[in-house]
A and B are shown apart, each in its own frame.
Chain A
Amino acid sequence: MSALPQSPPSAPRRPSPGSRHLRLAGQRLFSVLLTLLGLLLLTFLIGRVMPLDPVLSIVGPDADRSTYQQVYHQLGLDRPIVVQFGYYLRDLLQGDFGNALLTGHPVTEDLARVLPATIELATLAIIVGTLLGVPLGVYAATRRGRLGDHAVRLISLMGHSTPIFWLGMMGLLVFYAWLGWAGGLGRVDFAYDGLVKPVTGLLLFDSALVGEWAVFGSALKHMMLPACILGLHSMAYISRMTRSFMLSQLSQEYILTARVKGLPERTVIWRHAFRNILVQLLTIVALAYGGLLEGAVLIETVFGWPGFGSYLTSSLLLGDMNAVMGSVLVVGTVFVALNLLSDALYQVFDPRTRQ
């Protein structure tokens, strides 16, 4: 590759791959920062159109006019909106999301407490989704246009079409109430609640760490059902993408060559074609993980899972804007980070992006 026109004259003619990566990373970082700033502006504006009066919620309905004015002034609501956005940014940069009405704690503290529960659930779900989705997708690609392909297509479209909260409720009904296989609401059985001191907040990890296997078992029993249901969505997505990646590989000439050489079909598919889609798959799984956050909001409500989704919905119903905007901001940031990670994985692992 020839020297890039933008490189300064003092730089070596042929920029090293490292410096090129660095510049790309810089551009990417800039655009991410811009997106995050936009995210902040959006949450700020949403907070502004809120029909609730933030002053009233502090002073109460009985306050006289001068108290109201004073608080109005203290909150900076008499300043121009740009200045208010500046204050909002300043507070957020100091990690101050305000206090949550429900708990009375700072929102950041609350979020740090609830996020591990969601992460644990989502991680198990993505494992389920990947383990099911990838083989299904590969199978569908090898059976293109035949019954197996249609079946996988139907399964994956079903996964896309099922209202996840409904499936959660039906799952509870069948596997908990009728069959008694699954644990019920919450993260562990009531008797084990609070038995293990949170270290990482990931209950499976924490309980295994101190050897509380009864707690571990109960937690796993509680987690399997919501994780499987949550994983269905990512299974649908992953299997579709796997199928289309595999199809684009299988139509290439090296596959034809491999078949002509007489390699067994299993080797052609798994050793040749599948190996070449691994990088793409990795990026897709990262994106699917972001999608799980959305499902988590609903599934946590159904399963009484004390995670981020329950926190968001209960704050929503209370009209607790600090908590809502804090959570929305966190989700947005995680989403952006996952997108970035997915890009980065591609850059690092795909040899074609290294020059």
Chain B
Amino acid sequence: MSPVASTATAVDPPIRGSLAGNPQSRSQALLQDLMRGLRRLLRNPLTVVGVIIVAMLMLVALFAPWIATHDPLAQDLAGALRAPSEEHWFGTDEFGRDIFSRLVYGSRITLYIVALVTVVVGPIGLGVGVISGYFSGWVDTVFMRITDIFISFPSLVLALAFVAALGPGLDHAVIAIALTAWPPIARLARAETLTLRKADFVVVAQLQGASSMRIMLRHIVPLCLSSVVVRLTMNMATIILTAAGLGFLGLGAQAPLPEWGAMISDGRRYMLDNWWMVAAPGAAILLVSLAFNLLGDGLYDVLDPRSE
């Protein structure tokens, strides 16, 4: 086998090392595909910015105790409502807590919400969508009706209604957001499945006597994954904003947790004289959700076949 493939190189410059050339195994082909996608992804400068910010967010959350300059919960009433200074980079709040440290620890809450909602929503949406698309008929009708009902609400309002029923709190907010976030995923997975359902390789598998379960799990789900992942990434920004909105309304994470939305809400009364109490956490939310949006947007461009 020649070390350099003929057709691929006409479009892309050759990849050095063992990844070059015709793939010799399925896993190698997958890896090549991934690398090619990654390089296209990182060609867009805005996407790179998104990747960097998300990576930084994860590092900050991971190493919060080392990065924070103060204890995020330690009160110091004598030093309350201080403007940003060398001692307190983003100032202090009404209890004298260091806002920078609270932001640093708050990144953990943000990531916790995003990760939990995504982990819950991904499989549910994928499951509902693939089953619905594969079996069609009445299963499809029932599932899609249910999905339609959830989609016909603005998600924040629906989340509000759920939190009202469950009672305020971080975990209830996660449940409420998850309940509102799965329908678009299900819609997408269904649409993907519909295009695959009659494909030759699926029919072959059926003729070979593979069970529906096996076909869905082994043949259809892997092909739906890329678009579902993109959608989940794009959803992350929405999740962050919804969680912050719930926190702002006092229905999300409860005091004294340093949740960013709740911090904005706390700062509201002191805003006129102490603008930093509101500005800092809001800027953090903006930055992080922008990063996820940039990342999702870049992924969408790479994986959307029409964009080539």
Contacts and interface: CB of A to CB of B under 8 A. Distances in A.
Interface of A: 31, 34-35, 38-39, 41-43, 46-47, 49-51, 150, 153-154, 157-158, 160-167, 169-170, 172-173, 177, 290-291, 293-294, 297-298, 301, 312-313, 316-317, 319, 321, 324-325, 327-328, 331-332, 335-336, 339
B297 A312 contact: no
A283 to B, nearest CB: 16
B145 interface: yes
A294 B157 contact: yes
Contacts of B152: 35, 39, 332, 335-336, 339
A41 B146 CA distance: 11
B157 A297 contact: yes
- Sorting the interface of chain B by its residue count into under 10, 10 to 19, 20 to 34 or 35 or more gives 35 or more
A198 to B, nearest CB: 25
Given A51-B167, A298-B245, A43 B286 contact: no
Given A166-B286, A328-B158, 14 more contacts: A34-B145, A35-B145, A39-B149, A46-B162, A161-B293, A166-B285, A169-B268, A170-B278, A293-B154, A317-B249, A319-B164, A328-B161, A331-B153, A335-B154
Given A49-B166, A51-B167, A165-B248, A173 B149 contact: no
Interface string B39-72: 0000001100000000000000000000000000
A41 B148 CA distance: 13
Given A153-B297, A331-B154, A163 B285 contact: yes
Contacts of A172: 271
Contacts of B221: none
B88 to A, nearest CB: 20
B290 A163 contact: no
Given A163-B264, A165-B245, A313-B249, A42 B149 contact: yes
Interface in B285-305: 285-286, 289-290, 292-294, 297
Top 4 closest A-B pairs, CB basis? A166-B282, A38-B149, A294-B154, A161-B290
A258 B27 CA distance: 48
B15 interface: no
B1 interface: no
A150 B46 contact: yes
A107 to B, nearest CB: 14
A35 B148 contact: yes
Contact of B157 (A34, A158, A167, A328): A328
B157 A293 contact: yes
B154 A154 contact: no
A324 B289 contact: no
Given A38-B146, A312-B157, A321 B286 contact: no
18 contacts: A31-B148, A38-B146, A46-B161, A51-B165, A150-B45, A157-B290, A161-B293, A163-B241, A163-B245, A163-B285, A164-B245, A165-B264, A166-B286, A301-B249, A312-B157, A313-B249, A316-B249, A328-B153
